[in-house]
Amino acid sequence: MTQESSTRPPAANATSPGRLALKRFVRHRLALGGTIVLLAIIIMTVLGPFLLGIDPNAVDPSQIRKPPSDTHLLGTDSAGRDVLARLIAGGQVSLLVGLTAALTATLIGLLLGAVAGFFGGWVDSILSRVTDVVLSFPTLIVVIIIVAFAGPSIPTLILAVGLFEWPTAFRLVRGLTLSLRDQDSIRAVRGLGAGTPRILFKHVMPAVFAPLTVVATLLVAQAILLEAGLSFLGLGVPAPTASWGSMLNEAQSFTVLQEMPWLWIPAGSIIALTVLAVNFIGDGLRDASDPRRT
């Protein structure tokens, strides 16, 4: 072999699993488009209040339910508040609740699933039965009851949604951990004297991270829809804080549905667009994490 060929960088760097997964994700057009859309929505909710310069809670009785105009690009609501300003402010609340609740549910499912799968026996049996009990209750009904007793607030929404959306992540992590714990690599690490916490946090949890991200993205979409549904029912964030679901509350009147579409179409459209974008990202992550795809 020549000196030039001996100094050539190894081909493994160019075809590492991470780079292959990234290439598969980028080739997934819907996932790439969903990422762009979601980033645009996040940027809008973060920078929009500074660029627009309108207080979303400012009431103007002379501008009640006015159609879109140069002053109010998306019109005003039943209190004379700017719809565009409330749409942007509502995005901050809806995305905060969706992302934080999904993260809470994912972490709970990760920890409990890893423990159940690794220890097995009575620990696995108890946690699996608890999961079955949680799955037997309709999530929306349970969350409504919790919010009704605790009172509507952002922390209550996050905890209520997060505490009843973890079984999906639990089942995934538990199944993967069951298959990992008997592998030779885990046995070798255990034989070298590594304790259970080290094995779980250093070897098991990183191995389930890739498929868990797919579940996490789907949980984000579910959490956003749950928050929108609760706010639509008046059990979401307390007034006058804006959220996409509370903006849809205006659509309960047939007069609004027929004659004032600017009061509900923007909020409904942004919810649908965000959930679709998150679902497309989840599909792309699922395909990207599948080593059988080229």
- What pLDDT is stored for residue 291 in this prediction? 57
Report the alpha-carbon distance of residue 222 to residue 226 in Å, rounded.
Answer: 6
pLDDT, mean of each 10-residue run, the chain (294 residues)? 49 60 80 91 89 85 86 86 90 88 90 85 89 85 83 83 86 84 68 67 73 86 86 78 82 79 88 91 79 58
String of b and e for 22-59 (b: at least 16 CB within 10 Å)? eebbeebeebeebbebbeebeebbeebbeebebebeee
- What pLDDT is stored for residue 274 in this prediction? 92
- What pLDDT is stored for residue 186 in this prediction? 67
- What pLDDT is stored for residue 36 in this prediction? 93
Cis peptide before 261 (omega within 30 of 0): no
Report the alpha-carbon distance of residue 165 to residue 39 in Å, rounded.
Answer: 24
Say if CB 244 and CB 271 are below 8 A apart. Answer: yes
